[in-house]
Amino acid sequence: NRPTGTYPIRELTFRSLIHHDDPSKWRVIVFGQSFYPRIDSATGIGCCDGKITSWDQALSPTLRNVIKNVLVGEGHLRKGDKVGYLRSKLRELDVVQPMDWFQRTIE
């Protein structure tokens, strides 16, 4: 009895958990708290907006912070670096586009 307009659709809810049968191997679990008002944005992967197909598009603060913190953790950025530098670093490192990046994080 899920209300109409609830996204992601039931089949995509917790999509990232479907690929893993051994939770003891998980290193991080990310839950998105904000809902997506469009079905094409709600991918079932926390913080991943399906409408974003390129790092050059306007990114939500959450998405921007997720990818930025990954690059900070890997030593490619500093915490104070701005979004323009983040985008140039993503190009320099030849990071796959957002949907592919999120898909690879759950495989």
| SS (HEC) of the chain | CCCCCCCCCHHHCCHHHHCCCCHHHCCCCCCCCCCCCCCCCECCCCCCECCCCCCCCCCCHHHHHHHHHHHHHCCCCCCCCCHHHHHHHHHHCCCCCHHHHHHHHCC
Q: Domain residue spans in the chain?
A: 10-105
pLDDT of residue 19: 67
In this prediction, the residues of the chain whose per-residue pLDDT falls under 50 are none
Predicted pLDDT at 53: 94
The pLDDT value recorded for residue 96 is 97
The pLDDT, as a whole number, for residue 80 is 95
pLDDT at 20: 67
pTM of the model: 0.71
